[in-house]
Amino acid sequence: MASPGQSSLFNAFTELVSTTYRNHKKTVADNVSKHNALYRRIASKGRVRLEDGGLSIVTPLDYQANSTYQRYSGYDVLNINAVDVLTAAEYPWRQAAVNVAASGLELRTNSGAQRIINFTKAKITNAQRSFANGLSSDLYSDGTASNQINGLQAIVADSGAGTVGGINASTWAFWQNIVQSAAAPLQGGGAITPGVTTIESLMLPMWIKLTRGADSPDLIVMSDDYFAFYEQSQTSLKRYAPEDNGQGGMVSMKYKTADVFFDSSGGIPAQHAYFLNTDFLEMVVHRDANMDMPEEVRSVNQDAIVMPILWQGNLVCSARFLQGVMKA
Residue 81 covered by a domain? no
The most confident of 11-25, 52-66, 251-265, 270-284, by mean pLDDT: 270-284
Domain residues for the domain of 178 are 4-59+89-327
pLDDT digit string (tens) for 155-210? 999 999 999 999 999 999 999 999 999 999 999 999 999 999 999 999 999 999 99
Average confidence (pLDDT) over 317-325: 97
Whether residue 82 is contained in a domain is answered as: no
78 in a domain, yes or no?
no
**73 found inside a domain:** no
**83 belongs to a structural domain:** no
| Residue 29, in any domain of the structure | yes
Task: Please check whether residue 77 lies inside any domain of the structure.
Answer: no
- pTM comes to 0.84
pLDDT in tens, 111-136: 888 888 888 889 888 888 899 889 98
Number of domains in the chain: 1
* CA distance linking residue 296 with residue 305, whole number of Å: 7
Residue 236 Cα to chain centre, angstroms: 33
Supply the DSSP symbol for 96.
E
**How far apart (Å, rounded) are the C-alpha atoms in residues 302 and 300?**
6
Q: Is 81 helix (H, G, I), strand (E, B) or coil?
A: coil
Q: If 0-12 CB within 10 Å is exposed, 13-18 middle and 19+ buried, where does residue 196 land?
A: middle
Inside any domain, residue 67:
no
* φ/ψ of residue 260, rounded to 5: -115, 120
